[in-house]
Amino acid sequence: MQEMYEALGVSRKVYSFGQAVLTGLRERFAAIDETAEYNQAKVLRAMQKNKLSGACFAASTGYGYNDLGREALEAVYADCFHTESALVRPQITCGTHALALALGAVLRPGDELLSPVGAPYDTLEEVIGIRPSPGSLAEYGVTYRQADLKPDGSFDYDAIRAAITPRTKLITIQRSKGYATRPSFSVEAIGRLIAFCKSVKPDVLCMVDNCYGEFVERTEPSDVGADMTVGSLIKNPGGGLASAGGYICGTADCIEACARRLTAPGLGREVGANLGQLPSMYQGFFLAPTVTAGALKGAIFAANIYERLGFACVPDATEPRHDIIQAVTLGSPERMEAFCLGIQAAAPVDSHVTPVPWPMPGYDSDVIMAAGAFVQGSSIELSADGPIRPPYAVYFQGGLTWYHAKTGILMSLQKLYERGLVDLKEI
C-alpha cells in the first residue's frame, strides 16, 4: 500500500504520519457508518413507498407535462425530509440559485429578511443587496437585518428578539460555516433557534440553507420546524452522480410559491422537462448517505492531520460534525496555494492543472479553488477552496469515497512539506 501511495506522489514520511493519525479514528468512523446505514434505509424506504420503477427514468422534453419520474422524485425527497412537498429540478443551477429562488418566492416589497446567524455566505450578499447588484431583493423593496453570533459562536437570543419586527417575513439560517471560521450548526441547535423565532413571531417563516449538511446526521432541519430546507444536487444529495440541480423541501404553500417563481404564475410545478437527468438524480440520491459518510471521514482525518501540525481547525479534531466542510487556518497565501495544489494533484480529472487565485463572480476577493471533478463545481467530490484574505483559511470538503478523501489530504500535506511550509522532522 505504501508503494502505491508513493506512485501517486506521497512520500513515506507523509504516508506514515497519516497512518499514525488513523489509528485513533476507528471508533468515530464506525459511528459515521451507523448514521450512513440509518440514512440509507430512510432513502430506500422512500423509494419503495413511492413505487419507483423503470418508467420513472424516462426523459421528458419541452413543457415536460405528465412527467411521472419528476413527480416521483419530488415525492421521494419530501418523504426523506418529512415535508409536505418538494421541488427538485435540474433547472435549479446551484445552491445560490435555490436559495435566491426560495427568497424571491415568499418575500414581497416591504417585507424584511433576517439572518440570526450573522452575515450570509458571500454569494448571497448580491442576492440580498448587501452588496448592490441589479435584480437584488433590495431593488424590490425587501430590507435586511442580521443578528450576529456571540464571540463563542452561539446564538445571541436577546439580539435576535430585538431584530424581529412586525415586518420580519422570513428568517434565513445558514447551517454550514461558509467562508467563516464559526461552528456549523447541528440540527438540534437549528431546531431550538427556529422554536425561539416562532415564539417571538408565530407567523414568521424559517428557511435553512442545508448545503453540505444533508445525511451528516439522522435528522434534517425540516424535522425540527424549518418551513423550507434548501440545497444543491452537486453537493451531498446528488451523491456525485447528479450533474446539475437543486432542491427545496417544505410546506405545500412554500413549495408552490417556489415552483411559480421558478417557472411562471399559473404554471408552477406542472412544467419543467427532466431532459434525461432523472437516472443520475435518483441513483445519486440513493448513494448519497454512503458518499456523505466518506466525505465526513475525510474531514475528520484532515482536522486530525493539521491540528497535530499546529494549525487551527474548525471543527477541531474531536468536535461533533454537522456538515462535511473542514476549515483549516493556514495563515498565509503560500500555504493555501500549496494545500490546493495537493488537492488538485490528487484529482482524477485535471490533476496536472495548477490552481491559482482569481476574481470569481459573486465574491469580494480573489478565490482559489481546487477541484478535479467529474461534475464541474461539484463539492461532494474532492475539493478545496477559500478566499485569499486573512486568516487565510482553506475549506476542504468532499471525496466520493473515503479512500479518495484520504489521498487528497495526504497529497495536500505532501505539497506543504515539499515547499518547506510545514515541519515534519519531529513527528
Segment 16-33, tens digit of pLDDT: 999 999 999 999 999 999
Average pLDDT over residues 207-220: 98
**Whole-number Å distance between alpha carbons of 421 and 415:** 9
| In a shared domain, residues 358 and 231 | no
Strands 367-370, 383-387: pairing kind? antiparallel
- Number of structural domains found in the chain: 2
User: Domain for residue 423, yes or no?
Assistant: no
In tens, the pLDDT along 175-199 reads 998 888 788 999 999 999 999 999 9
Q: Which among 267, 285, 303 is the end of a domain?
A: 285
**Reported confidence tier of residue 276, pLDDT bands at 50, 70, 90:** very high
Average pLDDT over residues 238-254: 98
The per-residue pLDDT for 363 is: 75
The per-residue pLDDT for 229 is: 98
Q: Among all chains, which residue has been given the C-alpha cell 425527497? A: 77
User: Domain for residue 427, yes or no?
Assistant: no
What CATH number is given to the structural domain containing 76? Answer: 3.40.640.10
| In a shared domain, residues 253 and 312 | no
The per-residue pLDDT for 205 is: 98
Where does residue 114 fall: left (phi above 0), alpha (psi -120 to 50 degrees), or beta otherwise?
A: beta
Q: Which among 258, 285, 312 is the end of a domain?
A: 285
Q: Is the dihedral of CA 414, 8, 293, 71 positive or negative?
A: positive
Task: Quote the percentage of the chain above a pLDDT of 90.
Answer: 95
User: Domain for residue 399, yes or no?
Assistant: yes
| In a shared domain, residues 60 and 10 | no
In tens, the pLDDT along 109-152 reads 999 999 999 999 888 999 999 999 999 999 999 999 999 999 99
The per-residue pLDDT for 64 is: 96
Q: Among all chains, which residue has been given the C-alpha cell 424590490? A: 140
The per-residue pLDDT for 361 is: 76
| In a shared domain, residues 319 and 386 | yes
What CATH number is given to the structural domain containing 340? Answer: 3.90.1150.60
Q: Which among 240, 255, 285 is the end of a domain?
A: 285
What Å distances lie between residue 284 and 221, 278, 292, 408, CA to CA? 21, 10, 11, 22
| In a shared domain, residues 311 and 221 | no
| DSSP conformational letter for 358 | B
Burial 56-88 (b: 16+ CB within 10 A, else e): bbeebeeebeebebbebbbbbbbbbbebebbbb
**Whole-number Å distance between alpha carbons of 127 and 121:** 10
| In a shared domain, residues 183 and 209 | yes
| In a shared domain, residues 24 and 123 | no
User: Secondary structure of 166-179 in the HEC alphabet?
Assistant: CCEEEEEEECCCCC
SS3 326: strand
The per-residue pLDDT for 184 is: 94
| In a shared domain, residues 320 and 224 | no
The per-residue pLDDT for 210 is: 98
User: Domain for residue 424, yes or no?
Assistant: no
Strand residue runs (E) in 64-174: 85-89, 112-115, 143-146, 168-174
The per-residue pLDDT for 160 is: 98
What Å distances lie between residue 239 and 55, 192, 379, CA to CA? 22, 29, 10
The per-residue pLDDT for 376 is: 93
| In a shared domain, residues 277 and 311 | no
The per-residue pLDDT for 364 is: 77
User: Domain for residue 324, yes or no?
Assistant: yes
Average pLDDT over residues 355-366: 85
The per-residue pLDDT for 177 is: 87
Strand residue runs (E) in 301-414: 312-314, 326-329, 367-370, 383-387, 393-397
Residue 4: Cβ within 10 Å count: 10
As given in the structure block, the three cell numbers for residue 30 are 464506525
Average pLDDT over residues 328-352: 97
In tens, the pLDDT along 38-86 reads 999 999 999 999 999 999 999 999 999 999 999 999 999 999 999 999 9
SS3 219: coil
What is the rounded average pLDDT for all residues in the chain?
A: 96
User: Domain for residue 426, yes or no?
Assistant: no
| In a shared domain, residues 263 and 297 | no
| In a shared domain, residues 29 and 123 | no
The per-residue pLDDT for 401 is: 97
Considering only residues 171 and 122, tell me which one the structure prediction assigns the higher pLDDT: 171
The per-residue pLDDT for 178 is: 81
| In a shared domain, residues 167 and 67 | yes
In tens, the pLDDT along 391-425 reads 999 999 999 999 999 999 999 999 999 999 998 86
User: Domain for residue 329, yes or no?
Assistant: yes
User: Domain for residue 56, yes or no?
Assistant: yes
Give me the domain span that covers residue 318: 2-37+290-418
